């Protein structure tokens, strides 16, 4: 499997993870009703919804070998490195997949 496909799969998996957290936050708002922590849950929903969108669009672009997807993957990989141990593993993986330019000739 080529590196751009591995990158797309990694971003797709991360997008599903963030979507799951956002859905759980939404369900917490629905089932708990309005309380003092509702503002925090809405903030969580916005942040994780945004992360879902970022990874979703980056996965689609990586699948199509878009150059900006490679750059975004490198930035995200570097940002994940301090999140030991899982973030470090994901960050190193993204960096290894995106470090070398993807062949754009089809």
C-alpha to C-alpha distances, 3 to 43, 81, 105, nearest whole angstrom: 34, 19, 14
- Distance between CA 80 and CA 90 in Å, rounded? 7
Predicted pLDDT at 37: 78
Question: Over 80: is that where the pLDDT of 61 sits?
Answer: yes
**Of the ranges 24-38, 40-54, 60-74, which one carries the lowest mean pLDDT score?**
24-38
- List pLDDT tens digits, range 47-60: 999 999 999 999 99
What pLDDT does 103 receive?
Answer: 82
Instruction: Tally Cβ neighbours within 10 Å of residue 95.
Output: 16
Task: Sketch the domain layout of the chain as residue ranges.
Answer: 3-98
Express each pLDDT in 71-94 by its tens digit.
999 999 999 999 999 999 999 999
Cβ–Cβ under 8 Å, residues 88 and 81:
yes
């Amino acid at each position: 499997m080529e590196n751009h496909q591995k990158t797309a799969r990694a971003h797709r998996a991360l997008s599903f993870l963030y979507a799951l957290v956002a859905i759980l936050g939404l369900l917490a708002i629905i089932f708990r009703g309005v309380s003092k922590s509702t503002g925090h849950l809405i903030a969580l929903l916005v942040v994780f919804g945004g992360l879902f969108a970022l990874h979703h669009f980056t996965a689609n672009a990586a699948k199509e070998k878009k150059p900006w997807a490679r750059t975004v993957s490198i930035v995200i990989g570097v940002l994940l490195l301090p999140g030991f141990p899982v973030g470090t593993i994901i960050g190193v993986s993204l960096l290894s997949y995106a470090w070398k330019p993807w062949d754009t000739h089809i």
